[in-house]
Amino acid sequence: MLPLDTIFAPATGHGRTAVAVVRISGPQAGPALSALIGVPLPPARRLSLRVLREPASGDLLDHALVAWLPGPGTATGEDMAELHLHGGPAVRAAVLRSLGTIPGLVPAEPGAFTRRAFLNGRMDLTGVEGLADLIDAETEAQRRQAVRQLDGALGRAVEAWRDALLGVLAGTEAALDFSDEGDVDDEALTEAGRAVAFEIRDAIRAALADGRRGERLRDGFTVVLAGAPNAGKSTLLNALARRDVAIVSDIPGTTRDAIEVRCDLGGLPVLLVDTAGLREGTDAIEVEGVARSRRRIDQADLVLWLREPGGDAPPPLSVPTLVVATKDDLSASSPDGAIAISARTGSGLDRLLAEIERTAETSLGSGDALVTRERQRLALERCLHHLDRVVTHRAELPAELVAEDLRLAIRALGEVAGRIGVEEMLDRLFSSFCIGK
């Protein structure tokens, strides 16, 4: 445990609430609680009703439930205390003001409680990232994925791989150090280690061969509405969003810039993007709008090519494309393979939404990905590179280089769990947390 100041912060939202929770963590948590309620401290890990008083003047602050939580078996691994106050803003402000007058106590910065949990070994880095994702989760699939990470799905797998490779490394180094001893079987150690490395390499390769579903689920599935001017893109966006998001007009080129709408489709995060109609621009602004449309199409997970009656078929695109025949209420037929819709009457929209949902679920999964961040993927790819050398080129490499590759593979796994080399990344990660978390 690191010698740190004692921190405090509200753990519940601002404004008028039924109950407001204030958390205190650090070596002065017990004395700080005593300063508010007097002595003795209440029984550990039980909510007790106490009168809170201002330490200097003795003025009544609140009647509150308090909890004394001695470390290290706490969320942060330190001594902690919680104050469950009446939820009025004035009550919370008065208690926080009183805590600020107690020597050794400082207000917590964003993510300070979780950072201490990580530094004191109560969470690994994958769990911290899962907690951050859970706070930001907007859909059911994102929630499921974040909960799996917080529960240690990746952390447990990485720790098991790391422990197994440490055993292989120990055997390899034993063969190096005691190669002249008659009771050390070099070949047996080599073959056993190679088999374990082979198994772990295949497990990591399988985890990485997921089409980046975890990262894509965090960011959302991007669906771009494209087509010629007046094909019905803005009308369809408004119909799917169920509100007037984009301006609809019979004048070609009305949409100049991309308009984005986030929605929850079957528990999956979907980003709908309306773009400018593709044609030769009539002015500099429209030319730029068309250029932006083409860039968004290239970056999309799915393109809905809107085709009005008599309109052109989609050009060859590098991303999955679904042809949507618009203005079905004005036409008796639609192109083969197209989904016919009418945004004005609503016909065909359910089928279109079902197809988008099916495509998104195929691409993103349902929150079961093991790797959810680019940082994790890069570290696992480095580990895989070194294990490939151990498994594939074992006969060609000196034993010293095999041992070095094993050490580097173990180091890469340590980066995933946050054991080494993550200081700068920690600052960025914890700054995204709420104060009090």
Mean pLDDT of all residues belonging to the chain: 85
Tokens of 358: 């099916």
Instruction: State whether 71 and 134 are in the same domain.
Output: no
Burial of residue 336 (CB within 10 Å: 0-12, 13-18, 19+) is: exposed
> What domain count does the chain have?
3
Cα(401)–Cα(7) distance, integer angstroms: 47
pLDDT of residue 314: 83
Tell me what the mean pLDDT of segment 191-214 comes to.
88
Instruction: State whether 21 and 132 are in the same domain.
Output: no
Reported confidence tier of residue 299, pLDDT bands at 50, 70, 90? confident
pLDDT of residue 210: 87
User: Which H, E and C letters describe 36-81, residue by residue?
Assistant: HHCCCCCCECCCEEEEEECCCCCCEEEEEEEEEECCCCCCCCCCEE
Give tens-digit pLDDT for 36-54: 999 899 999 999 999 999 9
Residue 29 lies in a domain: yes
Residue type at 421?
G
pTM recorded for the entire structure: 0.79
Reported confidence tier of residue 382, pLDDT bands at 50, 70, 90? very high
| Structural contact between residues 80 and 71, judged by C-beta atoms closer than 8 angstroms | yes
Q: Taking 70 as the threshold, does the pLDDT of residue 227 lie above it?
A: yes
Percentage of residues in the chain having pLDDT higher than 90: 45
pLDDT of residue 267: 87
Cα 199–chain centre separation: 28
Edge-to-edge strands, sheet with 259-265: 259-265, 268-274, 221-227, 302-307, 321-325, 339-340
Instruction: State whether 222 and 95 are in the same domain.
Output: no
Q: Strand 19-25 vs strand 80-86: parallel, antiparallel, or unpaired? A: antiparallel
Tokens of 335: 């192109």
Instruction: State whether 197 and 266 are in the same domain.
Output: no
> Which carries the bigger pLDDT value, residue 287 or residue 168?
168
Instruction: State whether 250 and 353 are in the same domain.
Output: yes
pLDDT of residue 75: 93
Residue type at 54?
E
Give tens-digit pLDDT for 126-181: 999 999 999 989 899 999 999 999 999 999 999 999 999 988 888 777 666 655 55
pLDDT of residue 240: 83
Q: Is the dihedral of CA 114, 120, 121, 122 positive or negative?
A: negative
Residue 156 lies in a domain: yes
Q: Taking 80 as the threshold, does the pLDDT of residue 422 lie above it?
A: no
* Domain end point (choices 97, 124, 151): 124
Give tens-digit pLDDT for 9-39: 999 988 889 999 999 999 999 999 999 999 8
DSSP, collapsed to helix, strand or coil, labels residue 227 as strand
**Residue 279: CATH number of its domain:** 3.40.50.300
Q: Strand 80-86 vs strand 60-69: parallel, antiparallel, or unpaired? A: antiparallel
Instruction: State whether 336 and 257 are in the same domain.
Output: yes
> Which carries the bigger pLDDT value, residue 97 or residue 244?
97
Reported confidence tier of residue 395, pLDDT bands at 50, 70, 90? low
Full residue range of the structural domain in which residue 223 is found: 217-364
Cα(81)–Cα(30) distance, integer angstroms: 7
Residues 6+ apart with CB under 8 A from 104: 5, 6, 26, 27, 28, 31, 32
Q: Taking 90 as the threshold, does the pLDDT of residue 435 lie above it?
A: no
Instruction: State whether 342 and 230 are in the same domain.
Output: yes
- Return the percent helix, strand and coil in the chain, to nearest 5: 45, 15, 40
Residue 436 lies in a domain: no
Instruction: State whether 230 and 275 are in the same domain.
Output: yes
Instruction: State whether 238 and 358 are in the same domain.
Output: yes
pLDDT of residue 175: 66
> Which carries the bigger pLDDT value, residue 323 or residue 345?
323
CA distance from start to end of the chain? 19
Q: Taking 70 as the threshold, does the pLDDT of residue 388 lie above it?
A: yes
Cα(207)–Cα(214) distance, integer angstroms: 11
Cα(88)–Cα(73) distance, integer angstroms: 31
Residue 42 lies in a domain: yes
pLDDT of residue 261: 87
Instruction: State whether 250 and 342 are in the same domain.
Output: yes
Give tens-digit pLDDT for 346-364: 888 899 999 999 999 888 8
Instruction: State whether 206 and 144 are in the same domain.
Output: yes
Residue 425 lies in a domain: no
Residues 6+ apart with CB under 8 A from 386: 405, 406, 408, 409, 412
Instruction: State whether 205 and 105 are in the same domain.
Output: no
Most confident among 77-91, 296-310, 345-359 (mean pLDDT):
77-91
pLDDT of residue 1: 42
Cα(127)–Cα(433) distance, integer angstroms: 14
pLDDT of residue 188: 45
